[in-house]
Amino acid sequence: MVLSGAEIVIRCLQEEKVEYVFGYPGGAVLYIYDALFQQEAVRHILVRHEQAAVHAADGYARSTERVGVALVTSGPGATNAVTGIATAFCDSIPMVIISGQVPTAAIGQDAFQEVDTVGITRPCVKHNFLVKDVRDIASTMKKAFYIARTGRPGPVLVDIPKDVSMHTCEFEYPKEISMRSYNPVVKGHSGQIKKAVQLLLEAKRPMIYSGGGVVLSNAAEQLTKLTRLLGYPITNTLMGLGGYPASDGQYLGMPGMHGTYEANMSMQFSDVLLAVGARFDDRVIGVPAHFAQELRKIIHIDIDPSSISKRVKVDVPIVGDIKEVLEEMIRQLESGEARPNPEALAAWWKQVDEWRSRNCMVYKNSDEIIKPQFVVQKLWEVTGGEAIITSDVGQHQMWAAQYYPFDKPRRWLNSGGLGTMGVGMPYAMGAKLAHPDMQVACVTGEASIQMNIQELSTCKQFRLPIKICNLNNRYLGMVRQWQQLFHGQRYSESYMDSLPDFAKLAESYGHVGFRIDKPCDVEGALREAFTTHKNDLVFLDFQVDQTENVYPMVQGGKGLTEMILSAEDL
Amino acid sequence: MRHVISLLIENESGALSRVSGLFSARGYNIESLTVAPTEDASMSRMTIVTTGSDDIIEQITKQLNKLIEVLKVVDISEAAHLERELMLVKVRATGKDREEIKRTADIFRARIIDVTDTSYVVELTGNQGKLDAFLSAIDPALILETVRSGVCGVGRGDRVLKL
């Protein structure tokens, strides 16, 4: 069948069973939008800014197991998309971004709305392509989806010049693709796995530390089974929340800069550390030199060899898909006779529980003023812990991660690696489209939400009844916290003046807006939002304590156990 | 430590910038980089001379392997290998210097491949040390231009970098 390049692009999306494309039209993608108009299988979500298109597609991908797709025009369309692409790249999210480009003959002529999109995005994509011939579109799209979802996932950009989308050729979607230069490893080395199991069984102070790789590999079930089989303590990183049920007794909470005392102490003083799809990030282990002071054996499972021994020397590296590797570990454990040493394990748990008894997550609640942690706890109660929670970046992000325990994966969507403010609402949009029957709430702050506030309009157009919980403290809270602790309380540009009335702002878009000032009104407002206004977008503007800080805290540049547990430690 | 990394990469536009971009983005050194298609024109072979600790070299090879278009990466300096570089030097050659340069070129087994009344172009192949030695053996005031290709490397004997 002879089709235009634009029609081929859409047919490829249909072949890949793409439900939603998030995008914004423009000159260079007019043919593609024309082809999109003439079919119904792929639905287009018109955002109000290209950054939000990419974030929404990213949120869709995070909350499902599927590839998110965004479509933007050349020049400013592509540059606006860059923040979204980099955000997805830093968290290894599978995405395909299609960008229009000026006609082939105009490339390099400084044409209207021309930028070197492939050049600009090169450092923040898993791979990218410039398609110069209409006959290459189908195979390139096939490769793009294949690369995006296999190995360590990531965003792939396909740049299509306008004339290429206009030209025609015979269309056939390749059934399979093989690339001689790209063959990601799946199975882990069985010898290494054997060594790892042996080491784990001999451990006296074992600790399991798992990250976003468990979620990406859909290995939560295997991780849970292995952890219970061994009976060892476990911590989930910010990206790995929900990888192991937070309500379980073996779970010690999140590690790192704002992690729990017990998780950080157990990481530091373990003698065997099993790292699963986590990358010893600076926000998790603090300074590597301090972390290395305690001797321990490290087993590291990761699909990406370059993640292994990057910041911390690893003793038993296992490269492979986490699900496959964990299954093999479980199989070896179950078929063997050896079990962990019960006396050593009991002694270790005694120590861990002692650390746990410090109760580091306790905060002082108030009847007068709303504490942000209290809002998150109430949100957990009202949603029965079953909602998809998205967040932006800052204090509210940490409180959401700390006080909304996740029992399942793909329920917690946030920008962990890049730390992009403004992702919260678009993530919620993507998640709500993917899961129309689930409760979706965005925990945000008055600063972050304003970075993509225009999407209230998109939510109206597509009737997306998400709940926005704005922890409004009239400060760039995390910046203010650092300035208070480390910059002599000089609050340089960290205040938010001239804020809008968010409730009225939401109303002006045709949504429902509440302003909540008192702690006693928090629960009622949340219940109303999730029941009476189940089918509305509700903007809950909580006026919270301006001076509340996130604790525990490990100061940047310090060691993992050098923690400030509460304001009393200052 | 100095390392010589050889790699095979798909011969596609932009492939070189992916490699050079990787080095600049992650703060790795490039002393020299050469690239040209192999006997199979769909592939290019690159030789990169870099310096770094063992940890950094390990990361460099891992990161290079991660590039989608890279087919194979080998640190050929880990074992016996050959390095060659081509250099063209244009020198002022008048009066008594003409004979002197010719003699020096002969000693280094270099060839004079362009001759005018006032200049020579000297072609010299060898490892970096030999090329450096030639440059220091002639009067720097006579050198008009120096063009060096960067290092090409290959493992000795059975060590073959092939698909």
What residues of A are in contact with residue B66 (Cβ under 8 Å)? 304-306
Q: Are residues A203 and A290 in the same domain?
A: yes
- Is residue A567 one of the residues assigned to a domain? no
Domain containing residue B13: CATH number? 3.30.70.260
Mention every residue, 6+ apart, whose C-beta is less than 8 A from residue A354. Answer: none
- Is residue B45 one of the residues assigned to a domain? yes
Q: Are residues A105 and A210 in the same domain?
A: no
Mean pLDDT taken over chain B: 96
B100 touching chain A per CB within 8 A: no
**Predicted local confidence at residue A463, as pLDDT:** 98
Shortest alpha-carbon distance between residue A521 and chain B (Å): 50
CB within 8 Å: B69 and A122: no
Q: What is the pLDDT of residues A482-509, one digit of tens each?
A: 999 999 999 999 998 999 999 999 999 9
- Is residue A182 one of the residues assigned to a domain? no
**Predicted local confidence at residue A569, as pLDDT:** 83
Q: What is the pLDDT of residues B76-109, one digit of tens each?
A: 999 999 999 999 999 999 999 999 999 999 999 9
Half-sphere exposure of A22 (CA within 13 A, CB side): 35
Q: Which of A19-23, A287-291, A407-411 has the lowest mean pLDDT?
A: A287-291
**Predicted local confidence at residue A405, as pLDDT:** 98
Strand B32-37 vs strand B43-51: parallel, antiparallel, or unpaired?
antiparallel
A567: confidence class by pLDDT, cuts 50, 70, 90: confident
Last residue of one domain, picked from the residues A356, A391, A423: A356
A374: confidence class by pLDDT, cuts 50, 70, 90: very high
What residues of A are in contact with residue B24 (Cβ under 8 Å)? none
Q: Are residues B97 and B128 in the same domain?
A: yes
Q: Are residues B97 and B136 in the same domain?
A: yes
Domain containing residue B120: CATH number? 3.30.70.1150
| A132 is an active site residue | no
Query: Could you tell me the residue range of the domain that residue A415 belongs to?
Result: 372-550
Q: Are residues B47 and B90 in the same domain?
A: no
Last residue of one domain, picked from the residues B78, B94, B124: B78
Query: Could you tell me the residue range of the domain that residue B63 belongs to?
Result: 2-78
Asked if omega into A340 is within 30° of 0 (cis), the reply is: no
- Is residue A185 one of the residues assigned to a domain? no
Percent of chain A residues topping a pLDDT of 90:
98
Q: Are residues B49 and B99 in the same domain?
A: no
pLDDT at A570 > cutoff 80:
no
- Is residue A510 one of the residues assigned to a domain? yes
Q: Which of A481-495, A513-527, A554-568, B35-49 has the lowest mean pLDDT?
A: A554-568
Q: Are residues B111 and B147 in the same domain?
A: yes
ipTM score here?
0.93
- Is residue B159 one of the residues assigned to a domain? no
**Predicted local confidence at residue A141, as pLDDT:** 98
Neighbouring C-beta atoms of residue B25, cutoff 10 Å: 12
- Is residue B95 one of the residues assigned to a domain? yes
| A112 is an active site residue | yes
A309 → closest Cβ in B9, B13, B58:
B58
A296: confidence class by pLDDT, cuts 50, 70, 90: very high
pLDDT at A557 > cutoff 90:
no
Mean pLDDT taken over chain A: 97
What residues of A are in contact with residue B71 (Cβ under 8 Å)? 180-181
Q: Are residues A261 and A333 in the same domain?
A: yes
Domain containing residue A417: CATH number? 3.40.50.970
**Predicted local confidence at residue A86, as pLDDT:** 98
What dihedral do alpha carbons A78, A83, A88, A89 form, nearest 10°? Answer: 90
Q: What is the pLDDT of residues A144-197, one digit of tens each?
A: 999 999 999 999 999 999 999 999 999 999 999 999 999 999 999 999 999 999
pLDDT (mean) for A322-346 = 96
**Predicted local confidence at residue A114, as pLDDT:** 98
What is the tally of structural domains in chain A? 3
Any idea what the Cα angle at residue A499 is, between residues A496 and A500, rounded to 5°?
A: 160
pLDDT at B25 > cutoff 80:
yes
**Predicted local confidence at residue A243, as pLDDT:** 98
- Is residue A181 one of the residues assigned to a domain? no
Last residue of one domain, picked from the residues B78, B96, B123: B78
Q: Which residue of A has its CA nearest to B69?
A: A181
- Is residue A557 one of the residues assigned to a domain? no
- Is residue A285 one of the residues assigned to a domain? yes
| A113 is an active site residue | yes
What residues of B are in contact with residue A304 (Cβ under 8 Å)? 66
**Predicted local confidence at residue A551, as pLDDT:** 96
Q: Are residues A329 and A294 in the same domain?
A: yes
Q: Are residues A443 and A302 in the same domain?
A: no
**Predicted local confidence at residue A205, as pLDDT:** 98
A232: confidence class by pLDDT, cuts 50, 70, 90: very high
Q: Are residues A342 and A439 in the same domain?
A: no
Last residue of one domain, picked from the residues B57, B78, B99: B78
- Is residue A34 one of the residues assigned to a domain? yes
Q: What is the pLDDT of residues A391-410, one digit of tens each?
A: 999 999 999 999 999 999 99
CB within 8 Å: A147 and B68: yes
Q: Are residues A17 and A143 in the same domain?
A: yes
Q: Are A546 and A475 in contact (CB under 8 A)?
A: yes
Distance, in Å, from the CA atom of A251 to the CA atom of A249, rounded to the nearest integer, reads: 5
Total beta-carbon pairs less than 8 A apart between chain A and chain B: 35
Q: Are residues A384 and A317 in the same domain?
A: no
pLDDT at A35 > cutoff 90:
yes
Burial of B7 (0-12, 13-18, 19+ CB in 10 A): buried
**Predicted local confidence at residue A556, as pLDDT:** 85
| A162 is an active site residue | yes
Q: Are residues B106 and B69 in the same domain?
A: no
**Main-chain phi, psi angles of B109, to 5 degrees:** 55, 40
Distance, in Å, from the CA atom of B120 to the CA atom of A474, rounded to the nearest integer, reads: 74
**Main-chain phi, psi angles of B34, to 5 degrees:** -125, 150
Start-to-end C-alpha separation, chain B: 28
Domain containing residue A254: CATH number? 3.40.50.1220
Q: Are residues A261 and A134 in the same domain?
A: no
Strand B43-51 vs strand B2-10: parallel, antiparallel, or unpaired?
antiparallel
**Predicted local confidence at residue B127, as pLDDT:** 95
**Predicted local confidence at residue A455, as pLDDT:** 98
Distance, in Å, from the CA atom of B88 to the CA atom of A370, rounded to the nearest integer, reads: 76
What letters, b where the CB count within 10 A reaches 16 and e where it falls short, cover A448-473?
Answer: bbbbbbebbebbeeeebbbbbbbbbb
What letters, b where the CB count within 10 A reaches 16 and e where it falls short, cover B82-116?
Answer: ebbbbbbbbbbbeeebbeebbebbeebebebeeee
Q: Are residues A351 and A378 in the same domain?
A: no
- Is residue B157 one of the residues assigned to a domain? no
